[in-house]
Structure 1
Amino acid sequence: MPKWFVLHWRFLCLLIALGTILTPFLLTVYIKTVTNNRRYFKVEQVPDEPVAIVFGAGVWADGTPTPMLADRVEGAVELYRLGRVHKILMTGDNGTPEYNEVVAMQQYAERLGVPSKDIKLDYAGFSTYESCYRAKVIFGVERAVLITQKYHLPRAVYTCNQLGIEAVGLGTPDWGKFKDDSMRFYTQREVLAVIKAILEIHIIRPKPTFLGPFEGMS
């Protein structure tokens, strides 16, 4: 085998390896950059929007929200109290009768003073992509504030904007509040989730697991 061919092959393999390593990082930087002016970290900074969308983040065995989910709901409630939003869409996983994120979110928001008439539930928000897709198609959301932890916020804002919702986001605390081991796991997983989001949004455009009739936000 000619020496030049071996060198060429090794160089090609190096380029492929570098691309594999760098692509997730570059996509993450890209999404953070293009959503930078749409992400806020203090309630007082968030512009008025008709709807807040709260993404699910797990419930305990007794049906109460995990600390991450509680923070998200509290952020939405604070926006509601300040009059920055008028309706709240709770979107999450209710894949089995025993597991219901959205009812836990609703009950917690009601305990904090939000009337049930201003809360809408999306029981089939099984992923960020599905939540954004359904918010637009099933609930007719045109503009919204998205509420989730800071590490997840760029992907959420990017996804909803690409699916036709004029979205901004409120990032709730993550690093410094939750255990470093947990945050490392979530942050590393987010890199892979960004790749999946790019594929779903720009290439595959899958339908959600469930669609159903139009419900609106009234």
Structure 2
Amino acid sequence: MRPAVALFVKRLIVILTLLVLLAIGVVVAANAWVLARTQDRIENDLLLCASEPVGVVFGTSYWARGGGRNPLYSARLSAASQLLRTQRVQHLLLSGDNRTRFYNEPVTMWRDLRANNVRDSDMTLDYAGFSTFDTLVRAREIFGVSRSLLITQDWHLPRALFIADALGIDAKGCAAPTPAVSGVWQLHVREWLARVATLGDLYLWGREPYFLGPREPLHIVPAAR
């Protein structure tokens, strides 16, 4: 190898190494910031979760990748129904993706909660919760939510709470159990990267929700005694 080429390769390796280290540093710093700002508001025991007027339930796929029912979905719904039953929340906002008539997360959640004896009057469906960001913007702008209990897995809650803070929503997190599932490490890695992207959404490129629409303030019906 010619000296000039060898020198170029060495410099290229150094530059690439520095870029990789910089990227790792950004990911670590962003995650540390998000976690530090939110961890003290996450409760892992459903019986100890804070009482708030509205529980925001984040949608996820009903089906697991390997087939069968998604245990993460089941855990979120089980937690939501228990929180409503114990009056930790007075109303559930079911927010998820409704990208086609064959894929409708809010309706699927509504049907399953209905089957678990949750009243229709205790649920509101948000059909345009295409992302965590969209769900929380719409909770504030469309449904008038100013205080809420966020219901999802513990690894998802820091990002959700961080977004809620930036939007001015007084939120606390209630962690649905995280059952053992294959590929859970991939979910964690994706979440680490999503936290970095969230900082860009909020502070750099001014992300907007995919769809808003007219206001639909929640109607909270007192629980039957």
Contact conserved, 1:102 with 1:123, CA < 8 A, in 2? yes
2:107 alignment partner in structure 1: 103
Q: Max radius of gyration: which structure?
A: 2
Deviation at 1:140, TM superposition (A): 0.5
Which structure 1 segments of 5+ residues have no match? 2-6
Deviation at 1:16, TM superposition (A): 3.6
Q: Deviations over 1:138-186 (max 9, x none)?
A: 0100000001111111111111121121111111222xx223x411110
The correspondence of residues 58-207 of structure 1 with structure 2, limited to 5 A, is: 58-60=61-63, 66-174=70-178, 177-179=179-181, 181-207=182-208
Which structure 2 segments of 5+ residues have no match? 5-9, 220-225
Q: Distance in 1 between matches of 2:217 and 2:133?
A: 19
Describe the shift of the 1:12–1:125 C-alpha distance in structure 2 as closer, same or farther (beyond 3 A): same
- Equivalent AA in structure 2 for residue 139 of structure 1: F
- Equivalent AA in structure 2 for residue 36 of structure 1: Q
Q: Distance in 1 between matches of 2:70 and 2:97?
A: 14
Describe the shift of the 1:103–1:204 C-alpha distance in structure 2 as closer, same or farther (beyond 3 A): same
Q: Distance in 2 between matches of 1:140 and 1:18?
A: 43
- Equivalent AA in structure 2 for residue 88 of structure 1: L
Contact conserved, 1:59 with 1:100, CA < 8 A, in 2? no
Any idea what SS the aligned residue of 1:121 has?
Answer: strand
Q: What is the root-mean-square deviation in Å for CA atoms of aligned residues? A: 2.3
Any idea what SS the aligned residue of 2:144 has?
Answer: coil
Q: Report the TM-score, using the length of structure 2 for normalisation.
A: 0.86
Q: Deviations over 1:186-212 (max 9, x none)?
A: 011111111111111122222211110
Instruction: Count how many residue pairs are aligned between Structure 1 and Structure 2.
Output: 209
Farther-moved stretch of structure 1 (202-211 vs 51-60): 202-211
Q: Distance in 1 between matches of 2:130 and 2:12?
A: 43
Q: Distance in 1 between matches of 2:12 and 2:101?
A: 55
Any idea what SS the aligned residue of 2:209 has?
Answer: coil
Describe the shift of the 1:142–1:8 C-alpha distance in structure 2 as closer, same or farther (beyond 3 A): same
1:51 alignment partner in structure 2: 54
Any idea what SS the aligned residue of 1:204 has?
Answer: coil
- Equivalent AA in structure 2 for residue 184 of structure 1: W
- Equivalent AA in structure 2 for residue 178 of structure 1: A
Q: Distance in 1 between matches of 2:40 and 2:206?
A: 26
Describe the shift of the 1:124–1:10 C-alpha distance in structure 2 as closer, same or farther (beyond 3 A): same
Contact conserved, 1:65 with 1:101, CA < 8 A, in 2? no
Percent same amino acid among aligned pairs? 35
